[in-house]
């Protein structure tokens, strides 16, 4: 594959079409899990794994699956990988498994995975689909981990589970609530869009000057 295409997919996944801050997909784990940054990392890893695997399989089968049963086929494939992930996690990482709780099975209906399957993997070759899965997953992981760090720091006075100071002395409990989740999410999206726009405008200005 050409380097240009690789860069395009990579940048799309992590920055330009970041699933959390730009496409606003997969908000369920974003709002629910970001109270602790460690579980964000674990969730991100699980989602990335499932994304890559399902993208690959769906891309391989893209010409075989008839249109009418597209959706059930995708869901079965995604569900299989999620179940596999759950089994492995339960066996080898029981702490992470219990901290993710209900959000692990919810990966099946995570919009990011089904969305990328539908819009990318079913029209593109295997290599590109795999890369797209990888970078979308990375984008998601980075996004929710950042949110998790902020929310955990402000709401729980800790960093990655390490208590920094007694949270009853100083912490803004609001950020550990759902309302705080929405607020943080909104602020992050605003900030991300502002930075993106600024970069674009700068690039445009540069192009105009030339």
Partner 1 sequence: MSKSSSFVTSLKTISVLLIICIVCGALLALCNDLFYIDEETKFNRAMQKVYPEFERDTSVSETPLAEFKDLAGAGSVSKVYRSKDGAYILEATGVGGYPDGSGTVTMYVVVGGETPNVEIKSVLITGNTKQSWIANITQKNIDKAYVGKNIKDVASLQMGNDYKWGGATMASTAIMNAIKSAVNYCVTALKLVSTPESEARDAAVALLEGYTLTTVVDDAYTTAVGANFYFTGTKDGADDVDVYVFGDKESGHQIVALKAGLTHADRMLDTAIVAKSEGIDNALVQSAQGLSHIESQIRALAPSFTYDVAGDLSQYATHSDFADTQITSAYVCNDGTLAIVAESTVGVFEDYTPGKLTMMVVIANGKISGFKVISYGGHSYFDGSIGNKNPQLYVGSAIDAIEYVKVSGATGSGVAYYNIIALSAYYARSISA
Partner 2 sequence: MINLFLIGQPIQWGSFAIVVGIMAAVALVLGVCIMLISKLCFIKEDPRIKEVEGYLAGANCGACGYAGCADFAKALVEGNADLSACSVTSAHGKAEVSNILGMSITGQEPTVAVVSCAGGNKCRDKYAYQGYGDCVSQNMLAGGRKACDVGCMGSGTCVNACPYHAVEVEDGKAFVNTDLCKSCGLCIKACPKSLIKRVPVSAKYYVACSSQCRGKDVMNACQVGCIACGKCQRLCPNGAIILVNNVPVIDYSKCTNCGACAEGCPRKCIKLVHDEPKAK
Is residue 166 a contact residue for partner 1 (CB under 8 A)?
yes
Report the chain's terminal Cα–Cα distance, integer Å.
Answer: 31
Q: Which of 69, 84, 194, 198 binds partner 2 (CB under 8 A)?
A: 69
Q: Is 30 in the site for partner 1 (CB under 8 A)?
A: no
Note whether 207 binds partner 2 by CB under 8 A: yes
Q: Residues of 143-159 as b/e, b for ≥16 C-beta within 10 angstroms?
A: bbbbbbbbbbbbbbbbe
Shortest distance, CB of residue 194 to partner 1, whole angstroms? 33
**Which residue's CB is nearer to partner 1, number 25 or number 57?**
57
H-type helices in the chain, by residue range? 3-11, 27-33, 37-60, 70-92, 94-100, 111-116, 126-156, 178-209
Identify the H or E element spanning 158. Answer: strand 158-159
The first and second tokens of residue 144, run together, are 């929710």
Site for partner 2 contains 5 (CB under 8 A): no
- Sign of CA pseudo-dihedral 72, 73, 78, 82: positive
Per-residue mark of binding to partner 1, 56-75 (x: CB under 8 A): -----x--xxx-xx--xx--
**Interface residues for partner 2 in 135-174 (CB under 8 A)?**
none
The reply on whether position 88 binds partner 1 by CB under 8 A is yes
Which residue's CB is nearer to partner 1, number 179 or number 195? 179
Calpha distance 10→21 (Å, rounded): 16
Of the two residues 123 and 178, which places its CB atom closer to partner 2 in the complex?
123
Binder to partner 1 among 15, 79, 111, 172 (CB under 8 A)?
79
Q: By the criterion CB under 8 A, which residues form the site for partner 2?
A: 68-69, 72, 76, 91, 201, 204-205, 207-208, 210
């Amino acid at each position: 594959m050409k380097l240009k295409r690789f860069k395009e997919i990579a940048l799309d996944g992590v920055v330009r079409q970041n699933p959390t801050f730009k496409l606003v997909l997969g908000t369920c784990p974003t709002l629910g899990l970001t109270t602790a940054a460690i579980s964000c990392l674990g969730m991100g890893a699980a989602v990335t794994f499932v994304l890559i695997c399902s993208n690959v399989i769906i891309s391989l089968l893209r010409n075989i699956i008839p249109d009418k049963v597209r959706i059930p086929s995708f869901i079965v494939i995604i569900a299989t990988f999620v179940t596999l992930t759950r089994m492995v996690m339960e066996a080898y990482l029981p702490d992470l498994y219990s901290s993710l709780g209900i959000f692990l099975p919810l990966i099946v209906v995570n919009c990011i995975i089904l969305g990328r399957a539908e819009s990318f993997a079913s029209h593109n070759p295997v290599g590109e689909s795999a890369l797209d899965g990888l970078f979308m997953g990375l984008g998601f992981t980075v996004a929710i981990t950042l949110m998790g760090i902020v929310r955990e720091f402000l709401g729980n006075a800790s960093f990655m589970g390490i208590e920094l100071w007694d949270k009853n002395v100083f912490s803004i409990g609001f950020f550990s609530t759902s309302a705080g989740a929405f607020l943080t999410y909104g602020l992050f999206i605003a900030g991300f869009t502002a930075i993106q726009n600024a970069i674009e405008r700068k690039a445009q200005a540069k192009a105009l000057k030339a």
